[in-house]
Amino acid sequence: MAEPVTLITGTRKGIGRHLAEHYLAQGHRVIGCSRQPAELEHAHYQHFTTDVADEPRVKALFASLRKEHGRLDNLINNAGIASMNHSLLTPVETVRRVMETNLTGAFLFAREAAKLMQKAKYGRIVNFTTVAVALNLEGEAAYVASKAAVEALTRVMARELADFGITVNAVGPVPVETDLIRAVPKDKIANLVARQAIKRLGRLEDVTNVVDFFLRRDSGFVTGQVLYLGGV
Amino acid sequence: MSNDDLTQMIIAATRELAAEQGIEIDTALDADTRLFGEGGLLDSMALVSLVIGVEQALEEKHNVTVALADEKALSQRSSPYRTIGTLAAYAAQELAARRKSG
Q: Is A122 helix (H, G, I), strand (E, B) or coil?
A: coil
Q: What pLDDT, on the 0 to 100 scale, is given for residue A1?
A: 65
Q: Where are the domains of chain A?
A: 5-228
**B59 interfaces chain A, CB cutoff of 8 Å:** yes
Beta carbons within 8 Å of B77's beta carbon, 6+ residues apart: none
Total Cβ atoms within 10 A of residue A147: 28
- Residue A142 amino acid letter: A
Q: What band does B102 get if pLDDT is binned at 50, 70 and 90? A: low
Give the model's pLDDT for residue A64: 94
> Measured between CB atoms, which of B49, B59, B65 is closest to A118?
B49
SS3 A205: helix
> What digits encode the pLDDT tens for the residues B31-90?
999 999 888 999 989 999 999 999 999 988 888 888 888 777 777 778 899 999 999 999
Q: For every one of its 232 residues, what pLDDT tens digit does chain A have, with 9 covering 90 and above?
A: 689 999 999 999 999 999 999 999 999 999 999 999 999 999 999 999 999 999 999 999 999 999 999 999 999 999 999 988 899 999 999 999 999 999 999 999 999 999 999 999 999 999 999 999 999 999 999 999 999 999 999 999 999 999 999 999 999 999 997 766 777 788 888 889 999 999 999 999 999 999 999 999 999 999 999 999 999 9
Which class does domain B3-101 fall in? mainly alpha
* Domain range summary for chain B, segments of one domain joined by +: 3-101
CATH number belonging to domain A5-228? 3.40.50.720
Q: What's the CA dihedral at A189, A77, A4, A31 to 10 degrees?
A: -100
Residue A17 carries which DSSP code?
A: H
CA distance B102 to B92: 15
Chain A hits for B59, Cβ within 8 Å: 63
CA angle A131, A4, A165 (to 5 degrees): 70
Confirm whether A122 is a catalytic residue: no
Please state, as a whole number, how many other Cβ atoms lie within 10 Å of the Cβ of residue A53: 20
| Whether the predicted pLDDT of B21 surpasses 90 | no
Beta bridge partners of B29: none
Q: To probe the interface with A, which of B16, B43, B49 has the most A CB atoms within 10 Å?
A: B49
Q: Residue B97: pLDDT band by 50, 70, 90 thresholds?
A: confident
